[in-house]
C-alpha cells in the first residue's frame, strides 16, 4: 500500500489517507475503515487517482455524500474515492445547468429555484450528491432525474471519459446503466430545465421540504428509504401494515414516523441494520408473499 500512497501523494491530487473511518462520510453514521481513502480536488486529479488504482490493480468504490449507503462494520477493501469539494462545479446557461457530481442536490435545487428555473423541485429534500442521484435515478413527488437529465459525463474504470445521453443512461426505477452494466464515476451532468414562476417554484420547494420533515425521521442518522417500492405496493405501507414500526435490533430501529426508514438510535452497527433488513424481508414475504429489495446500497467486507 505504501507504493500507491506515495505515488498518489506525489501527484498532489488531494486528500489521501490509510485506514480512514467511513462512518463520518455517511448520513447513517455507520461504517468501518477504508484501506485507502482518496478525495480528489478536481476532475483531472480524479482521473489521475483512477489511473494509479488501475496500475496497481486495486479495487475501488466511489461515494458522494453517503446518503443512500450502508457500509460494513469491517470497512471496505481497497480504495474509496469520495467526490466532494473540487468536483462540485456549477455552470448555469439560461435553463441548461452543468453541475459536478460532488455538488449537493438540495443545494443545486435551491440555487436554481431562486433564479426562477423549474424542474428540480422534487429534489428539494433529497440529501445526496448529484452524482449519487444520477447513479440511482433518485426521485420523489412523481418525478425523478431521468425526467430532466440531458447528458452525463462519466469517467469509466479504464480511465476514459465519455458523455452519455439520457437514453444511453438506460434509466429505470431507481437505477441506471452505472448500476447495471458499466462501472464508472459520474463527474458532471447537464440538466435541461425550464423557466417558471419564481414564487411558485420556491413555494413548491418549501412544500416538499415540509412534507419530508413531517413524514420522515431526519432528526436521526439514517440512509433514506431502505427498500424499493414493490409497485403497485409501497414499502412503507407494507411495513406499517405488518406492525413493524418501532421494531429494533441493537441500535437500529424501524422509524415510527415512516416504515421505510431505519434510524440509528444509539451507536448502531451495520450488522444491526442488516439483521433488521432481513427481518423485514422475511416478515413481508411471510405475510404477503412479496419480495422486498433494498434501495440503499450495501457495500464493504462481508
* Catalytic site residue from 121, 188, 204, 295: 295
Catalytic residue selected from 174, 176, 188, 204? 174
Q: How many CB atoms lie within 10 A of CB 143?
A: 14
CA 219 to chain centre: 19
Cell numbers at 193, concatenated? 430545465
Cβ contacts of 292 within 8 Å, gap of 6 or more: 227, 228, 230, 235, 238, 280, 281, 284, 285
Q: What DSSP assignment string belongs to 108-162?
A: HHHHHHTTTEES-GGGTT--SBHHHHHHTT-EETTEEGGGTEEEEEEEETTS-EE
Catalytic residue among 104, 146, 225, 255: 225
Closest CA to 87 of 99, 75, 74: 99
Active-site residue 225, yes or no?
yes
What 3-state DSSP class applies to 229?
Answer: coil
295 is catalytic: yes
**Which residues are the active-site residues?**
174, 225, 295
Amino acid at each position: 500500500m505504501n507504493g500507491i500512497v506515495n505515488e498518489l501523494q506525489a501527484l498532489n491530487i488531494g486528500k489521501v489517507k490509510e485506514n480512514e473511518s467511513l462512518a463520518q462520510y455517511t448520513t447513517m453514521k455507520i461504517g468501518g475503515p477504508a484501506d485507502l481513502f482518496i478525495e480528489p480536488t478536481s476532475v483531472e486529479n480524479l482521473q489521475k487517482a483512477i489511473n494509479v488504482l488501475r496500475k496497481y490493480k486495486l479495487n475501488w468504490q466511489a461515494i458522494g455524500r453517503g446518503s443512500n449507503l450502508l457500509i460494513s462494520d469491517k470497512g471496505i477493501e481497497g480504495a474509496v474515492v469520495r467526490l466532494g469539494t473540487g468536483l462540485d462545479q456549477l455552470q448555469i446557461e439560461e435553463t441548461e445547468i452543468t453541475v459536478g457530481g460532488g455538488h449537493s442536490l438540495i443545494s443545486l435545487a435551491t440555487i436554481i429555484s431562486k433564479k426562477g428555473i423549474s424542474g428540480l423541485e422534487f429534489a428539494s429534500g433529497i440529501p445526496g450528491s448529484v452524482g449519487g442521484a444520477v447513479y440511482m435515478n433518485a426521485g420523489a413527488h412523481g418525478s425523478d432525474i431521468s425526467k430532466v437529465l440531458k447528458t452525463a459525463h462519466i469517467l469509466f474504470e479504464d480511465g476514459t471519459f465519455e458523455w452519455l445521453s439520457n437514453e444511453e443512461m438506460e434509466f429505470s426505477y431507481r437505477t441506471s446503466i452505472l448500476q447495471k452494466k458499466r462501472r464508472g464515476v459520474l463527474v458532471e451532468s447537464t440538466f435541461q430545465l425550464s423557466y417558471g414562476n419564481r414564487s411558485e417554484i420556491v413555494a413548491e420547494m418549501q412544500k416538499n421540504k415540509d412534507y419530508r420533515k413531517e413524514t420522515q425521521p431526519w432528526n436521526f442518522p439514517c440512509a433514506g428509504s431502505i427498500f424499493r417500492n414493490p409497485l403497485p405496493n409501497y414499502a412503507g405501507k407494507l411495513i406499517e401494515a405488518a406492525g413493524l414500526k418501532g421494531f429494533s435490533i441493537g441500535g437500529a430501529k424501524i422509524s415510527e414516523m415512516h416504515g421505510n426508514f431505519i434510524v440509528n438510535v444509539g451507536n448502531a452497527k451495520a450488522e444491526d441494520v442488516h439483521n433488521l433488513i432481513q427481518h423485514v424481508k422475511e416478515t413481508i414475504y411471510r405475510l404477503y408473499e412479496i419480495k422486498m429489495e433494498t434501495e440503499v446500497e450495501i457495500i464493504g467486507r462481508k
